[in-house]
């Protein structure tokens, strides 16, 4: 087990999670660390009245910041087609498309490639290039890019239908111990909320001795 472990709380409905998982994947590639993906329910499901209570300025600022961060990081963004959440449905309605993605993310995590799966799937949902990400072979191809087979993930979900809902609920509760939003990264009990805190997270880990991969063998 890697000495430097980071828990990444992630939702497939969050564009900020999409930004965050892309950057955390890159960090894991470059640094001697392990990122543990913990898929959670979207805030629409966990706090159904969150958006109703939001300030009038919340939505326009959200969109401004979303586009600005895309430009800043060079990560493409677009409105999901379709949205993983159907806002015309109650929060607990099983018809939300995110209810298909979330257990697949848990299955990918169980297979040891949760981070890779989240990175590839959130890209087809959020990068603005795919119309109908839930149709055709988009999910299957994203799974292949993550080193997985969609059929195997679906089989895991079916065979573990009494287990993964408990894991999802546990992930939701664990997130609440630190924050309510995603992405939230937790390193040695210290939470870092938001994709814009990843540089601060890296600084903290480097403070405690994190090095780039291969740096010890080269020194």
User: What residue spans define the domains of the chain?
Assistant: 5-218
Q: What is the pLDDT of residue 219?
A: 47
Whether residue 8 contacts residue 183, with contact meaning beta carbons closer than 8 Å, is answered with yes
CATH number given to 5-218: 3.40.30.10
Distance CA 182, CA 15 (A): 9
Please tell me the pTM assigned to this model: 0.95
Q: Give the three-state DSSP class for 45.
A: helix
**CA-to-CA separations, 115 to 48, 95, 199, in angstroms, rounded:** 27, 25, 18
Query: Would you give per-residue pLDDT tens digits along the chain (219 residues)?
Result: 679 999 999 999 999 999 999 999 999 999 999 999 999 999 999 987 766 677 788 789 989 999 999 999 999 999 999 999 999 999 999 999 999 999 999 999 999 999 999 999 999 999 999 999 999 999 999 999 999 999 999 999 999 999 999 999 999 999 999 999 999 999 999 999 999 999 999 999 999 999 999 876 554
Q: What is the pLDDT of residue 56?
A: 86
Distance CA 113, CA 37 (A): 9
Q: What is the pLDDT of residue 2?
A: 76
């Amino acid at each position: 087990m890697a000495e430097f472990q980071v828990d990444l709380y992630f939702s497939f409905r969050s564009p900020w999670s999409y930004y965050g998982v892309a950057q955390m994947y890159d960090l894991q590639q470059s640094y001697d660390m392990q990122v543990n993906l913990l898929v959670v329910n979207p805030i629409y499901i966990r706090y159904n009245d969150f958006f109703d209570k939001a300030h009038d300025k919340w939505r326009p600022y959200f969109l401004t910041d979303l586009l600005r961060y895309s430009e800043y990081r060079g990560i493409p963004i677009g409105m999901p087609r379709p949205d993983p959440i159907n806002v015309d449905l109650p929060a607990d309605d099983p018809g939300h498309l995110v209810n298909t993605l979330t257990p697949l993310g848990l299955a990918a995590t169980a297979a040891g490639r949760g981070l890779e799966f989240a990175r590839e799937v959130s890209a087809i949902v959020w990068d603005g290039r795919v119309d109908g990400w839930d149709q055709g072979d988009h999910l299957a191809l994203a799974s292949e890019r993550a080193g997985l087979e969609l059929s195997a993930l679906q089989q895991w979900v079916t065979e573990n239908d009494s287990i993964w809902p408990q894991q999802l609920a546990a992930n939701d509760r664990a997130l609440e111990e630190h924050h309510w939003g995603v992405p939230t990264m937790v390193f040695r009990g210290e939470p870092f909320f938001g994709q814009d805190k990843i540089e601060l997270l890296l600084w903290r880990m480097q403070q405690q001795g994190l090095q780039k991969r291969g740096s010890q063998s080269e020194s």
